[in-house]
């Protein structure tokens, strides 16, 4: 029993011990949980910072109580702080207290001892982790507190030492009047102490420029004190022993100390706006190190390694995510970042209020700080001769590409011209830097790849809406406007060479800037590519406005006025001198006399036809040569002259071989004459060289400045002039690269329309300077320009197509590239613009803008240029020229477009009053083979898309263009109507016309047909009694209908048309027709247009002569060049008044004119404003040219615009517009009405007449008829022709083209009174009775043609 009792007591004791242990474990866990919760709620934030003075610190005891202290408290590692389990994650922390509690409370659970052991192990592991974490947090917290305490002590120590040094220096300066220089050891110690203070152990996030987000102002002040009182006195001392930096360079630690000090100094300069003392101290430090005479070479050479680099930090990839790191101390880069982000209220590259505040958006403090660093950089660049060129180039590429640079600094620092050692002024830093920039980037500028050398990673477009190249152009334009050596404000200070360099560089930049730079739109957009996405960025209007200073009228006027020196160029002599070719051409013009242009065109067609016969027949050539020899009596003279010509040619060539490949090819293409004309029209190279040399002897003038101006402003005119977008000379083909070529042409960076800035620029250049004559003289006298012109017109000399020519300078070449193309483009563009307000009297009688012989020279030159561009370049481009060269460029296309426009203007002028003989415009045999090759309508119509007919149709003879039009119309008519020859004539639409209701019936039956008027119409006439006339329409009755309709509709009394007052009673729409006929007038004009189209389609010539300007509307492209001459025909009195105003030498304001015009229609007086608010704008000398143009435009165009458009709409429904654009106005009049004077060429009519019914050309009745016809008046001849053909005018190409031909048919009679002459108008046949005498025949013919009967006589 005792044993059992003892054993029972022992078991109970074990149970009690286990219960107590579990209770203790549970209590410990509860205490730890409470303690951890207290730590989490009271512990300081991990990222909190302290100030210089110690702050209150909190410690937590083991019991969970919080103890506060006002001084830093050392925390012992022996008492670790518990950490909440919430700080940990993972499987160990997923189940801690709850699982333990569950285990202990379930004493009777079924878990095994192994599970309990594992649980205990997990708990111990968690405790160890918690203890380690608490130790780590405590260590970090102690380190932070210790660091703050140490920095506080060091700042106090540094301030005390600096205060003692300053006091000592003040005492010594007061007592001994000397500056105290601290020993190098003291300087080194204080420098180390400051660097320790300002270098925090943890890096903060950097800003875009690589500097800290914030620098303590007190630390910056400590740096300023250190520099001014400690470092600078020793560095500036003449005693090397006192310089503290020299010992630093002997050790790696010292060099590192110097770099750290400079870095902190630059960061303080950039990050502390408004602190002038710091800025000046840092500036003085860097100047003492690398700038000036006192800078020690050893120190300067060492500092240059990290203060000035030959290459940009971006170029050597010293960047992370597009940001240059803090370690880069390059001064040029630091200046760029300061200008980008250190100016403006919000640190933006372009301040948001810049457009509103203008220059005031940059504060004076920011501008002063930028000026200090700018001068420092300029002086630093000058102090390193070895790297000077590279540094100057970097300055332009990185500093002058900063947006609004001229607002952020005082640019006079760059524009001052320093004096050399001899007292002479040298180039300003601005010009010097530009020279270095061009020298180091020649290839990029010449190839147009400058953008790739201007790094943009640091300033994305999304944050700075202005590309670097645009900012560079804006800054250069602003600085060039203020630079006296290149702005032309003072001719005595003008540097021609520097000006040429500057504007050539501007030309390269204008070639690259976005297209929206000089557009009229207020906002311009640049597209940014992000992978496969494109997003628009609206460009800064402030930067765009800065670029547009190049277009200011006064600035442009000053530039060209200073660049033009007609005395040095001997302009007047070059322009007025004539050679033998000019005299010969004047003799040819005298032979032409005052013959109208329309008659010359018709005569040229007939002469061309006869010439082609004699050239095509071998026996005719032989006969012509024999007859010439017989008429001359002897052929020895021709042989001798030929021998003399050959001898002179040998003598001139000096026995050397002549390169005849180019000449032979030109002869094969275009005959022998036009190449000779062009070469004789201009001075030879030797003559031009001697002329230029004689002009320039002793004169400090260079035309290179003027050529550079032409290049810069020519780039604007070509890109924004509307002629450089579409490739007008591209051929329509089916080749594999057709779409690719079209894409290349359309992707050209040029505008599609003429921008207003171009017109304003041309007004200033053309009317405020003598640019046309000056450039005309340079084209003929400058050796380089003349040589370039030969390269342009001769494809053998230069294989590059004209459409691929570039205007930007080629710096790699000694001659600067093709100057001739630049000067020629500027010349033809200005000439075309001047011709707008030049009338015929000024051209022919006053030699304005150029003498007629000079205009003939220009015609010969441009003819060669256009011929090559349209007919030769495609051949070369497809057989040997590389793709990179043959791609079209906006300048080449603009050159072709301007040349074509100028030639059209001169051709139109010559059509009014001839400037030259018709053959001078032509390229012989051009298009002849193509016409012979074509057979069908589509083949003939395809010729209209050839470049020569789209760009310069005047190079093709009028006869060939007429023949092409005739073949197009004929083949199309056969396809639609059929023909008797092919036996497929289709039945026509029957139209009943009453003699007394021609207009009403025609409008009723024909006006609604529209384009179906091309179908065959069968006209049946009804007499006044309503009975059908006997005629059968096979074409003749429609001729009769059109003649009767035109006689009524074009009668001025009908009020649809009005006759001109000045010349020829030519018809044009009546401006008052709307009041006379109401809304029906538009319908009538459309109907008449359709009927005129039908007449042209059927080959019918009509009587009315149309006014020149109305014919321009029919072509679809009215040439405003003719407004003033056209006005002289409409209203001679108004024209004379405007000419008086144009030449009025007094003040135009005295005439009391405003921009209004009085309109009087049927007694109703209205005042119409020519421009908005024109009634309140008076006409002055400055705007009278515009007033004259607007007045002429109103009367010639605006008043008849609605009627002309209606007539044109009707015409184009039947005759395609492209068909009519083959001709100019006089030629179109010949197409419509034949020869304008109405005279019939009897010899031509007799040569192509046919005979039938027994007649022949030798019959006495036939000979009698021709004798009678020749003796008739012009009116009677026209009436007889109308009686036979229903047309009183012959076809444009003469009677050889009349179809059917004019035929005389024999009608036998027994007595003279049996029959009258009759006609079959459908077949152009005169049925002539065999009268007994000439007198009877004459009487019967006159009676028949004057009877006015219809077809009853048949």
How is 1047-1066 classified by DSSP, letter by letter? HHHT-GGGSSEEE-SSSTT-
Higher pLDDT, 981 or 734: 981
Catalytic residue among 464, 830, 871, 1322: 1322
DSSP secondary structure, 456-482, as one string? -TTS-TTTS-S-HHHHHHHHHHHHHHH
Question: Beta strand pairing status for 1067-1069 and 1057-1059?
Answer: antiparallel
Tell me if the pTM is above 0.85.
Answer: no
pLDDT tens digits along 678-723: 444 444 444 444 444 434 344 478 899 999 999 999 999 999 998 8
What is the Cβ-side half-sphere exposure of residue 313, based on CA atoms within 13 angstroms? 27
What is the per-residue pLDDT for 818? Answer: 82
pLDDT tens digits along 391-450: 999 999 999 999 999 999 999 889 887 765 455 557 889 999 999 999 999 989 988 888
Higher pLDDT, 744 or 953: 953
Who contacts 1157 (Cβ-Cβ below 8 Å, separation ≥6)? 1167, 1168, 1170, 1191, 1194, 1195
pLDDT tens digits along 1141-1185: 888 888 888 888 999 998 776 556 678 888 888 888 999 988 888
- Buried b / exposed e along 1257-1282 (16+ C-beta atoms within 10 A): eeeebbebbbebbeebeeebbbbbbb
What is the per-residue pLDDT for 1027? Answer: 76
Checking if the pLDDT of 617 tops 80, the result is no
Give 1107's pLDDT tier (boundaries 50, 70, 90). Answer: confident
Give 815's pLDDT tier (boundaries 50, 70, 90). Answer: low
Contact between residue 111 and residue 103 where contact means Cβ atoms under 8 Å apart: yes
* Mean pLDDT within 1094-1100: 87
What is the per-residue pLDDT for 1031? Answer: 61
Closest CA to 266 of 349, 196, 343, 326: 326
Who contacts 610 (Cβ-Cβ below 8 Å, separation ≥6)? none
No. of H helices and E strands in the chain?
61, 14
* Mean pLDDT within 62-87: 40
Q: For residues 1013 and 1016, what is the distance between their CA atoms, to the nearest angstrom?
A: 7
Phi and psi (nearest 5°) for 1050?
Answer: -95, 10
Q: What is the largest CA-CA distance in the chain?
A: 191
Within its chain, how far is the Cα of 898 from the centroid?
14
Who contacts 941 (Cβ-Cβ below 8 Å, separation ≥6)? 968, 972
pLDDT tens digits along 99-136: 444 444 444 444 688 888 888 999 999 999 999 999 99
Checking if the pLDDT of 13 tops 90, the result is no
What is the Cβ-side half-sphere exposure of residue 787, based on CA atoms within 13 angstroms? 10
Contact between residue 500 and residue 705 where contact means Cβ atoms under 8 Å apart: yes
Checking if the pLDDT of 1018 tops 80, the result is yes
Q: Report CA-CA distances (Å) from 996 to 382, 1001, 1053, 1084, 1094.
A: 98, 9, 17, 18, 22
The burial class, CB within 10 Å (0-12 / 13-18 / 19+), for 658 is exposed
pLDDT tens digits along 281-300: 999 999 999 887 778 888 88
Least confident of 34-43, 247-256, 970-979, 1089-1098: 34-43
Least confident of 385-399, 738-752, 879-893, 1137-1151: 738-752
The burial class, CB within 10 Å (0-12 / 13-18 / 19+), for 1150 is exposed
Q: Which one-letter DSSP state was computed for residue 1343?
A: H
Contact between residue 821 and residue 803 where contact means Cβ atoms under 8 Å apart: no
In the predicted model, what is the mean pLDDT of the chain?
79
Q: For residues 1314 and 1003, what is the distance between their CA atoms, to the nearest angstrom?
A: 41
What is the per-residue pLDDT for 732? Answer: 45
Given CA atoms 903, 905, 908, 913 in this order, what sign does their dihedral have?
negative
Closest CA to 1043 of 1294, 1206, 1229, 1233: 1233
Residue 1318, classed as helix, strand or coil, is strand
Q: For residues 901 and 907, what is the distance between their CA atoms, to the nearest angstrom?
A: 10
Q: Which one-letter DSSP state was computed for residue 872?
A: I
Q: Cis (ω within 30 of 0) for the bond into 433?
A: no
What is the torsion angle, in degrees rounded to the nearest 10, for the CA atoms of residue 859, residue 860, residue 864 and residue 867? 50
* Mean pLDDT within 1011-1025: 84
Contact between residue 714 and residue 807 where contact means Cβ atoms under 8 Å apart: yes
Q: For residues 1232 and 1096, what is the distance between their CA atoms, to the nearest angstrom?
A: 7
* Mean pLDDT within 1094-1113: 85
The burial class, CB within 10 Å (0-12 / 13-18 / 19+), for 611 is middle
Checking if the pLDDT of 591 tops 50, the result is yes
Contact between residue 685 and residue 710 where contact means Cβ atoms under 8 Å apart: no
Given CA atoms 256, 259, 264, 265 in this order, what sign does their dihedral have?
positive
* Mean pLDDT within 1181-1205: 88
Share of the chain above pLDDT 90, in %: 30
Q: Report CA-CA distances (Å) from 748 to 745, 751, 893, 926.
A: 6, 9, 10, 31
What is the per-residue pLDDT for 983? Answer: 78
Q: For residues 555 and 548, what is the distance between their CA atoms, to the nearest angstrom?
A: 11
* Mean pLDDT within 816-844: 89
Checking if the pLDDT of 633 tops 80, the result is no
What is the per-residue pLDDT for 1226? Answer: 85
Q: For residues 807 and 820, what is the distance between their CA atoms, to the nearest angstrom?
A: 10
Give 939's pLDDT tier (boundaries 50, 70, 90). Answer: very high
Who contacts 1133 (Cβ-Cβ below 8 Å, separation ≥6)? none
Share of the chain above pLDDT 70, in %: 77
Give 814's pLDDT tier (boundaries 50, 70, 90). Answer: low
What is the per-residue pLDDT for 705? Answer: 94
Give 1051's pLDDT tier (boundaries 50, 70, 90). Answer: confident
| Most confident range, picked from 632-641, 866-875, 1237-1246 | 866-875
Contact between residue 104 and residue 25 where contact means Cβ atoms under 8 Å apart: yes
Q: How many residues does the chain have?
A: 1354
What is the per-residue pLDDT for 36? Answer: 64
Angle between helices 819-834 and 890-912 (to 10 degrees): 40
Tell me if residue 547 is catalytic. no
Q: For residues 289 and 244, what is the distance between their CA atoms, to the nearest angstrom?
A: 12
Q: Which one-letter DSSP state was computed for residue 533?
A: E
CB neighbours (10 Å) of residue 1113? 23
């Amino acid at each position: 029993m005792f044993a059992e009792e003892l054993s029972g007591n022992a078991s109970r004791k074990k149970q009690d011990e286990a219960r107590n242990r579990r209770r203790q474990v549970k209590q410990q866990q509860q205490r730890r949980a409470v303690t951890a919760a207290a730590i989490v709620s009271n512990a300081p934030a991990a990222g909190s910072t302290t100030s210089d003075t110690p702050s209150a610190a909190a410690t937590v005891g083991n019991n969970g109580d919080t103890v506060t202290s006002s001084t830093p408290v050392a925390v012992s590692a022996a008492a670790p702080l518990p950490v909440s389990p919430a700080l940990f994650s993972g499987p160990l922390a997923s189940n801690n207290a709850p699982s333990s509690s569950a285990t202990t409370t379930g004493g009777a659970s079924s878990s095994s001892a192994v599970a309990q052991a594992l649980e205990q192990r997990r708990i111990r592991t968690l405790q160890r982790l918690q203890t380690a974490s608490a130790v780590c947090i405590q260590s970090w917290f102690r380190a932070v507190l210790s660091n703050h305490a140490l920095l506080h002590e060091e700042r106090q120590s540094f301030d005390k030492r600096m205060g003692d040094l300053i006091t000592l220096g003040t005492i010594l300066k007061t007592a001994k009047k000397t500056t105290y220089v601290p020993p190098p050891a003291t300087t080194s110690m204080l420098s180390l102490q400051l660097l320790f203070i300002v270098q925090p152990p943890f890096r903060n996030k950097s800003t875009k420029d690589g500097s800290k987000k914030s620098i303590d102002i007190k630390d910056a002040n400590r740096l300023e004190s250190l520099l001014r009182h400690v470092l600078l006195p020793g560095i500036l001392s003449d005693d090397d022993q006192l310089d503290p930096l020299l010992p630093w360079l002997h050790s790696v630690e010292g060099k590192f100390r110097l770099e750290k000090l400079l870095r902190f100094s630059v960061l303080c300069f950039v990050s502390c706006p408004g602190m002038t003392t710091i800025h000046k101290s840092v500036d003085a430090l860097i100047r003492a190190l690398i700038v000036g005479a006192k800078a020690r070479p050893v120190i300067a050479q060492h500092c240059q390694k990290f203060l000035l680099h030959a290459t940009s930090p971006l170029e050597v990839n010293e960047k992370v995510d597009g940001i240059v790191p803090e370690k880069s101390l390059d001064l040029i880069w630091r200046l760029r970042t300061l200008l980008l982000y250190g100016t403006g209220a919000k640190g933006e590259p372009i301040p948001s209020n810049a457009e509103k505040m203008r220059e005031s958006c940059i504060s004076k403090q920011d501008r002063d700080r930028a000026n200090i660093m700018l001068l420092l950089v300029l002086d630093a660049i000058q102090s390193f001769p070895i790297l000077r060129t590279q540094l100057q180039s970097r300055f332009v590429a990185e500093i002058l590409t900063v947006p609004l640079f001229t607002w952020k600094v005082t640019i006079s620092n760059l524009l001052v011209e320093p004096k050399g050692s001899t007292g002479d002024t040298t180039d300003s830093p601005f010009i010097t830097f530009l020279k270095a920039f061009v020298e180091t980037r020649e290839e990029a500028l010449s190839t147009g790849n400058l953008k790739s050398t201007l790094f943009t990673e640091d300033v994305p477009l999304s944050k700075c809406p202005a590309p670097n190249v645009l900012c560079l152009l804006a800054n250069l334009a602003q600085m060039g406007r203020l630079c006296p050596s290149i702005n032309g404000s003072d001719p005595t200070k003008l540097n021609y060479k520097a000006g040429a360099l500057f504007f050539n560089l501007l030309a390269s930049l204008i070639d690259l800037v976005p297209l929206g730079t000089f557009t009229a739109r207020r906002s311009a957009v640049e597209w940014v590519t992000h992978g496969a996405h494109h997003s628009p960025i609206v460009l800064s209007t402030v930067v765009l406005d800065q670029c547009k200073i190049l277009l200011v009228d006064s600035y442009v006027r000053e530039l060209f006025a200073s660049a033009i020196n007609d005395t040095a160029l001997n302009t007047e002599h070059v322009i007025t001198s004539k050679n033998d070719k000019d005299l010969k051409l004047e003799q040819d013009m005298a032979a032409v006399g005052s013959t109208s242009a329309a008659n010359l065109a018709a005569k040229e067609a007939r002469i061309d036809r006869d010439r082609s016969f004699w050239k095509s027949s071998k026996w005719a050539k032989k006969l012509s040569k024999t007859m010439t020899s017989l008429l001359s009596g002897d052929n020895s003279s021709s042989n001798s002259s030929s021998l003399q010509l050959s001898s002179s040619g040998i003598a001139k060539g000096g026995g050397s071989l002549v390169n005849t490949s180019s000449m032979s090819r030109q002869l094969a293409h275009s005959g022998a004459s036009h190449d000779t004309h062009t070469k004789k029209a201009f001075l030879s190279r030797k003559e031009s060289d001697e002329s230029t040399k004689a002009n320039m002897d002793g004169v400090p003038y260079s035309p290179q400045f003027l050529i550079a101006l032409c290049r810069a402003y020519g780039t604007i005119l070509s890109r924004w002039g509307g002629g450089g977008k579409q490739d007008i000379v591209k051929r329509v083909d089916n080749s594999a690269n057709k779409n690719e070529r079209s894409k290349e042409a359309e992707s050209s960076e040029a505008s599609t329309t003429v921008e207003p800035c171009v017109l304003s620029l041309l007004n200033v250049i053309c009317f405020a300077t003598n640019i046309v004559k000056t450039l005309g003289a340079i084209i003929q006298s400058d050796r380089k320009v003349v040589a370039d012109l030969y390269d342009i017109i001769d494809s053998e000399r230069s294989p590059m197509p004209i459409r691929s020519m570039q205007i930007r300078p080629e710096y790699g070449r000694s001659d600067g590239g093709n100057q001739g193309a630049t000067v020629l483009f500027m010349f033809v563009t200005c000439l075309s613009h001047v011709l707008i307000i030049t009338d015929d009297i000024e051209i022919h009688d006053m030699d304005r803008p150029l003498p007629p012989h000079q205009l003939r020279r220009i015609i010969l030159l441009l003819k060669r240029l256009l011929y090559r561009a349209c007919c030769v370049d495609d051949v070369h481009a497809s057989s040997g020229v590389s793709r990179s060269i043959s791609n079209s460029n906006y300048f080449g296309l603009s050159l072709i477009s301007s040349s074509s426009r100028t030639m059209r203007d001169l051709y139109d002028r010559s059509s009014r009053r001839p400037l030259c003989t018709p053959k001078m415009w032509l390229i012989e045999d051009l298009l002849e083979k193509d016409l012979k090759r074509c057979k069908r309508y589509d083949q003939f119509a395809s010729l209209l898309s050839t470049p020569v007919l789209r760009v310069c149709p005047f190079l093709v003879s009028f006869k060939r263009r007429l023949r092409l039009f005739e073949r197009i119309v004929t083949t199309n008519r056969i396809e639609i109507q059929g023909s008797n020859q092919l036996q497929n004539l289709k039945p026509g639409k029957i139209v009943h016309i009453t003699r007394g209701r021609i207009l009403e019936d025609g409008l009723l039956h024909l006006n609604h047909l529209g384009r179906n008027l091309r179908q065959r119409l069968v006209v049946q006439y009804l007499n006044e009694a309503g009975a059908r006339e006997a005629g059968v329409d096979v074409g003749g009755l429609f001729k009769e209908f059109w003649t009767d309709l035109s006689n009524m509709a074009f009668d001025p009394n009908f009020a649809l048309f009005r006759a001109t007052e000045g010349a020829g009673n030519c018809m044009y729409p009546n401006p008052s027709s709307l009041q006379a006929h109401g809304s029906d007038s538009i319908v009538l004009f459309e109907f008449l247009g359709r009927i005129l189209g039908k007449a042209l389609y059927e080959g019918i010539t009509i009587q009315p002569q149309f006014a020149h300007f109305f014919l321009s509307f029919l072509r679809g492209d009215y040439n405003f060049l003719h407004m003033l001459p056209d006005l002289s025909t409409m209203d001679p009195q108004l024209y004379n008044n405007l000419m008086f105003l144009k030449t009025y030498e007094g003040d135009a304001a005295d005439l009391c004119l405003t921009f209004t015009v009085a309109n009087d229609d049927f007694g109703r007086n209205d005042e119409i404003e020519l421009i908005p608010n024109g009634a309140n704008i008076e006409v002055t000398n400055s705007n009278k040219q515009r007033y004259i143009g607007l007045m002429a435009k109103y009367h010639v165009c605006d008043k008849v615009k609605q009627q002309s458009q209606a007539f044109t709409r009707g015409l184009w429904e039947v005759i395609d517009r492209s068909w009519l654009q083959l001709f100019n106005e006089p030629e179109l009049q010949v197409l419509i009405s034949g020869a304008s004077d109405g005279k019939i060429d009897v010899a031509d009519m007799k040569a192509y007449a046919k005979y039938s019914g027994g007649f022949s050309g030798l019959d006495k009745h036939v000979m009698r008829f021709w004798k009678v016809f020749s003796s008739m008046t012009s009116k009677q001849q026209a009436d007889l022709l109308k009686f036979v053909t229903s047309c009183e005018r012959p076809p444009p190409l003469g009677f050889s083209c009349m179809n059917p031909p004019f035929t005389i048919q024999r009608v036998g009679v027994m007595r003279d009174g049996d029959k009258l002459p009759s006609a079959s108008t459908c077949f152009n046949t005169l049925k002539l009775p065999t009268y007994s005498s000439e007198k009877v025949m004459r009487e019967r013919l006159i009676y028949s043609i004057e009877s006015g009967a219809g077809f009853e006589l048949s």
